[in-house]
Amino acid sequence: MFPAGKDVQEELVGGVRVFTVLGADAELLGYGFICGSYGYKSLVSCLIGITQPGLIVGVEVVGHYETYMYFAMIRDWFFNQFPGMDIEQVDVDTGDFLDYRIDAVSGATISCYAIIDDVWKAFRTFAAVTSRN
């Protein structure tokens, strides 16, 4: 998610694994967050990359035990809804995407909701991490 990253520092913030990604001159490139939320039958863990200004660069599932045939219905178009999403244009406190529209996948709706919840956890953790700096 951060190809220019040269160093990564890891910490645990409120149960979320946070990876601070630094560039060649130790400049802050962004953060990676590993979050987990329950889907239909298991924990769905995602890695969410957010740049220093607060833009999502990517969302990837890193672990789950959901029913394969349903989870396989979640295609790239679902994940492509998140990159470019700006923390300044959502309401982190209420969990409202405001002007963003996120469509779930019929047949894998609950798993999609788990991924969306992971994105919210990443946004909230990003707000907590950046407010202390």
Q: Which two tokens stand for residue 68?
A: 């394969």
Confidence check: pLDDT of 28 > 90 = yes
Q: If you compute the radius of gyration of the chain from its CA atoms, what whole number of angstroms results?
A: 15
- Residue 49, helix vs strand vs coil: strand
pLDDT at 105: 93
Confidence check: pLDDT of 99 > 80 = no
Distance CA 112, CA 7 (A): 31
DSSP-derived letter for residue 40 is: S
- Residue 89, helix vs strand vs coil: helix
Domain boundaries, the chain: 7-131
pLDDT at 57: 97
| pLDDT band (50, 70, 90) for residue 133 | low
Q: What is the pLDDT of residues 34-70, one digit of tens each?
A: 999 999 999 999 999 999 999 999 999 999 999 999 9
Q: What is the pTM of this model?
A: 0.93
- Residue 64, helix vs strand vs coil: coil
Q: Which two tokens stand for residue 44?
A: 């769905």
